[in-house]
Amino acid sequence: MSFSAQLMRTVEPQWKAMLEHPFLQQTADGTLPAGRFETWLRQDYLFVQEDVGFIGCLVARAPVHLRRMLGEFIPALHQEMDLFESMAKELGVDLEGIEAAPVCHAYNMFLLATVHTRNFAESFTLLYGSEKAYYDSWTQVKKRQTRKSPYQRFIDHWSSDAFAVWINQLAQALDGLAPGCGADERQRMEDLLRLTARYEYLFWDMALTGAGWPV
């Protein structure tokens, strides 16, 4: 079994919980209460904006052979932001003056803190986890869909063949890093992947509950 598949196996309970989150089921069957998808859209727009900074730091720390792949992801994130902006217009969602909710803020800080305090392989594990989380989550929504969704462009974006190719590239890059990782490092990568899955769960949860700051 490949290293990336082994890592994934160690976080199965958290991954399963994330994929079974009601936000995804309700997005698939069209029963999401009014305003919930819009909360996700606004918060994820901020998340992606901050993600550009995380990737920038990752590029700076990357081995030379991975710099191109990671560097080319930055324009892809800007294109994704265009998709958010166009969908926001279509759905009448205001993207001005959004404040990051606690979970969005914490998740972004987790990414940035990791890339500044851990080594490259450990930081790269977060990228693999967060991208795979979206591929698996939206692919599941697509499979469970019974009719076309008003949010179809998002569903199609993260479940596309092109996105599957990207996830594969990331898995292969992770497998390529494995021979250079000792047992302690692998354990830390597992722990970081588990935290990533837990943040992904909480992100869906925040969208559904609208959980914000107390004051």
- What is the contact surface with ligand MP5 in residues (CB under 6 A)? 44, 47-48, 51, 77, 80, 130-131, 133-134, 200, 203
Cα separation, 121 vs 181, in Å, equals: 8
Residue 131: CB minimum distance to ligand MP5, A: 5
Rounded Cα–Cα distance for residues 129 and 134 (Å): 9
- Identify which of residues 122 and 200 has a Cβ nearer to ligand MP5 in the complex: 200
Q: Which phi-psi region, left, alpha or beta, contains residue 32 (left: φ > 0; alpha: ψ -120 to 50)?
A: beta
Q: Residue type for 69, please?
A: M
Question: Between 130 and 149, whose beta carbon lies closer to ligand MP5?
Answer: 130
Contacts of residue 38, Cβ cutoff 8 Å, sequence gap at least 6 = 91, 93
Give me the least distance between CB of 200 and ligand MP5, in Å please.
6
Q: At what angle do helices 22-29 and 120-144 cross, to 10 degrees?
A: 40
Angle at 152 between CA 149 and CA 156, to 5 degrees: 140
Rank residues 44 and 122 by Cβ distance to ligand MP5 and give the closer one: 44
Q: How far is the CB of 193 from ligand MP5 (least distance, A)?
A: 13
